[in-house]
A and B are shown apart, each in its own frame.
Chain A
């Protein structure tokens, strides 16, 4: 088995690692880089718990091979809070109790942030379709959708007053 040397950027920092080529980006993040926020719920693209941004696109890190990360920009849940300040989505998830066990939460947050960056004013239907690739076994989804819609409204408000 040949090991490959990969150079990448994770949450703004340059990162080098060695990996076997069949390893997923998710396993690299969790096992080599100690970034255990991204979760493995299925390993087959169905649950979205492993969602990360790869060169600005939302992807399942379980379906990316480690060598594909060469020269790419990766953003994970660990980079979402800035200087100890929670992202408004993170704060809203806490305030509204949009999580129970929390296993799905990092994936939902990364996916929801990607949605609001593209579309600051999504309808509930658009939000539900966008998050269709994220599964939650606990909440029944309503509180999650509510939290995303409320955050979107607040962020729009802030933009107006800014």
Chain B
């Protein structure tokens, strides 16, 4: 195995395209574990952390750009990002331990394509876009379109994720992410629920996106769950409609962490809680 730390995007693309069985690495908290267990045997590791564009957060066009190799804990240092997207920052900082989060990235969380990845429902609820660089130049896709199935992505040969872009935020908008785990930390989500919404000064929800993790082969957007909230003040009937939409969207597996019925029931419960938190946050300072 060879190790490369390209200094720019072009070099990284050429290494990923030319080296045999080349894998990009950001924090390495999934990749190294998979190497150790023998699940993958990279011929080359392309460390993207020396590429300036992949590191750090910045405000852009009213939204934010997050470099794909930015560690989860670094997100906490950007006050404006934490204020606009508290749910996404929290989701990223539920991952593992401090030791893990000082290395782990939301880019790696997304590209690892685990159905239970914690930051992914929050990214999808946020309508985040992925800037992907490759031999054909750069393209942009929605976060929801990057994972293709458990452990598989829609990235082509030589392509890698450079940046994650969060859209401009309207006034009175916020988000939240909650997960159900048997322990209080260091565990894999049984279900994860991300909600991002906007409301007006009368408390009426004007826009909402709901995304779920760990209940299908990939994290998913549940469009009709979001729509169920629009036009309401999150009263019981709107929430009940949202819960029905959430349950209908789930197609989870049965495993030691939770049965199918349990996961479906919990998806509804956690989505409701996350929606209320996002709604209250959006109303703060109103």
Do A and B come from the same complex?
Answer: yes
Report the nearest B residue to A118, measured CB to CB: B98
- In this complex, how many residues of chain B approach chain A with their Cβ under 8 Å: the count is 28
Most interface-central of B2, B32, B99, B100 (chain A CB within 10 A):
B99
Q: Tell me the complex Cα distance, A33–B163, Å.
A: 37
Q: Which stretch in A61-69, A82-90, A97-105, A146-154 binds the other chain?
A: A61-69
Q: Which stretch in A10-18, A42-50, A73-81, A136-144 binds the other chain?
A: A42-50
Q: Which 7 A-B pairs have the closest CB atoms?
A: A133-B97, A21-B3, A67-B3, A132-B185, A57-B102, A60-B99, A133-B99
**B99→A51 contact, CB < 8 A:** yes
B91 CB within 8 Å of chain A: no
In the complex, what's the smallest C-beta–C-beta distance from B25 to chain A, in angstroms?
Answer: 8
**A45→B5 contact, CB < 8 A:** no
Q: 14 pairs across A/B with beta carbons < 8 Å?
A: A1-B1, A4-B3, A43-B36, A48-B97, A57-B71, A59-B103, A63-B29, A63-B32, A65-B28, A68-B5, A70-B5, A132-B186, A133-B97, A133-B186
**A21→B45 contact, CB < 8 A:** yes
**B185→A45 contact, CB < 8 A:** no
Name B's A-contacting residues (CB within 8 A).
1-3, 5, 25, 27-29, 32-33, 35-37, 45, 47, 49, 71, 73, 96-100, 102-103, 184-186
Most interface-central of A21, A62, A64, A129 (chain B CB within 10 A):
A21
Q: Tell me the complex Cα distance, A153–B3, Å.
A: 45
Q: Tell me the complex Cα distance, A67–B35, Å.
A: 16
Q: Tell me the complex Cα distance, A114–B102, Å.
A: 12
Contacts of A48 in B (CB 8 A): 97, 99
Report the nearest B residue to A19, measured CB to CB: B3
**B28→A63 contact, CB < 8 A:** yes
In the complex, what's the smallest C-beta–C-beta distance from B178 to chain A, in angstroms?
Answer: 17
Q: Tell me the complex Cα distance, A70–B71, Å.
A: 19
Q: Tell me the complex Cα distance, A151–B160, Å.
A: 46
Contacts of B96 in A (CB 8 A): 45, 133
**B185→A129 contact, CB < 8 A:** yes
Decide: A45 near B100, CB < 8 A? Known: A21-B45, A22-B35, A65-B45: yes
Most interface-central of A4, A58, A64, A114 (chain B CB within 10 A):
A58
**B28→A64 contact, CB < 8 A:** yes
Most interface-central of B3, B98, B184, B186 (chain A CB within 10 A):
B98
Contacts of A67 in B (CB 8 A): 3, 5, 47
In the complex, what's the smallest C-beta–C-beta distance from B108 to chain A, in angstroms?
Answer: 12
Contacts of B5 in A (CB 8 A): 67-68, 70
Q: Tell me the complex Cα distance, A149–B195, Å.
A: 37
Contacts of B103 in A (CB 8 A): 59-60, 63-64
Contacts of B47 in A (CB 8 A): 65, 67-68
A38 CB within 8 Å of chain B: no
Q: Tell me the complex Cα distance, A155–B71, Å.
A: 30
Contacts of A68 in B (CB 8 A): 5, 28, 47, 49
Q: Tell me the complex Cα distance, A4–B100, Å.
A: 25
